[in-house]
Amino acid sequence: MSGRIRCAIAGYGYIANAHAKAIAACPDTELVAIVGRDESKRRAFAAQYGAAHAVADSAELAALDGVDAVVIALPNSLHAPVAIEQMQAGRHVLVEKPMAMNAAQAREMAAVARATGRRLLVGHQWRFDREARWLRAHVDAGDLGEVVKTKGYGIHVNWGPSGWFVDPALAGGGALVDMGVHAIDTVRYLLGDPEPVSVYARLGTHFGSYAVDDLGVVVIEWEGGAVSIVESGWWNPWMDGPEASTQLFGTRGYGRLFPTGLTRVEDWKPKAETVSFEARADHCDQHTYDGQVAEWARAILEDREPEPGPEHGLTVMRICDAAYLSAREGRVVAP
């Protein structure tokens, strides 16, 4: 491919702004089209970010010339069908988390990506966070010893979404697939992407009148023996850390993400490492989305699998499917 990658964004909601800014920040990409049902909103979004085209739906986008890649920032129920449609139309895809409504859809997306040779990146943006990468480097270096236990959080305190987020037909689930997926993928990244062995979950609806979960505790056993506790929630009265905050308990040390730091154990005496990072404009900082688009663009130009790619997104969906089944049946499930 020569020249810049011509991108479209399907959606014009809150998260689409982060993707539009990331596309603008990447020297290898440019925004050329916006997709959305509301004509005034899609035209306003296109004008704000300098996109030449504003079309009503994904079918119209598939027929539009001059588009190489598509960001899908739509309700979860549309992730798989729109991604498949656009890959079959020759476009590379960046799909927001969760990858799909379930693992079956995610597998189909992965199969289409392989068959078409399109590069599919799944939007688990915490992998591009500078603090997460710092902690992953220490894990890889063995500074914590063997990580045997983790705790992670994906919780909204005194707040929760509305609209399609609380409609199971459109979202596929509640706080687990909205917030818990951040904690699941972040800890998997920090551990070096092990395979899940078993899942046990308790999920419930306690803070709202919707038909999806707003409180959850998921226990994941990983290949190699580490065990992760993941908490998800909306409208909760308290949280032990912000979105994607993760604690790692190792045989030779303790690491934490948000607040980020490391305590090594030497001769059974703790030795804390002081670290400082660039101030964040927002917890879900724009640099994570910038890194995500940059990786997607490099993968397209280098014709290689991006990270996180289809298998990363599929693994998270397998864990979520297993968690919902475990909660319904009260048993441990192999994902």
Angle at which helix 130-140 crosses helix 181-190, to 10 degrees, equals: 40
Position 267 scores a pLDDT of: 76
125 confidence band (pLDDT: 50, 70, 90): very high
DSSP bridge partners of 255: 248, 262
- Does position 151 have pLDDT exceeding 70, yes or no? yes
As a whole number, mean pLDDT of residues 293-316 equals: 98
- Give the separation between CA 28 and CA 25, rounded to whole angstroms: 9
What pTM did the predictor assign?
Answer: 0.97
Query: Helix H segments across the chain?
Result: 14-25, 39-49, 58-62, 76-88, 103-116, 130-140, 168-171, 175, 181-190, 286-302, 310-329
The DSSP call for residue 176 is I
- Give the separation between CA 64 and CA 151, rounded to whole angstroms: 46
- For residue range 215-240, list pLDDT tens digits in order: 999 999 999 999 999 999 999 999 99
Q: Give the domains, in start order, of the chain with CATH numbers.
A: 5-126+286-308 (3.40.50.720), 129-281+317-329 (3.30.360.10)
Position 1 scores a pLDDT of: 62
- For residue range 45-68, list pLDDT tens digits in order: 999 999 999 999 999 999 999 999
DSSP bridge partners of 250: 147
Position 2 scores a pLDDT of: 62
- For residue range 285-304, list pLDDT tens digits in order: 999 999 999 999 999 999 99
Question: What is the number of helices (H) and of strands (E) in the chain?
Answer: 11, 14
Q: Which residues contact 129 (CB under 8 A, 6 or more apart)?
A: 244, 285, 287, 288, 291
- Give the separation between CA 158 and CA 66, rounded to whole angstroms: 44
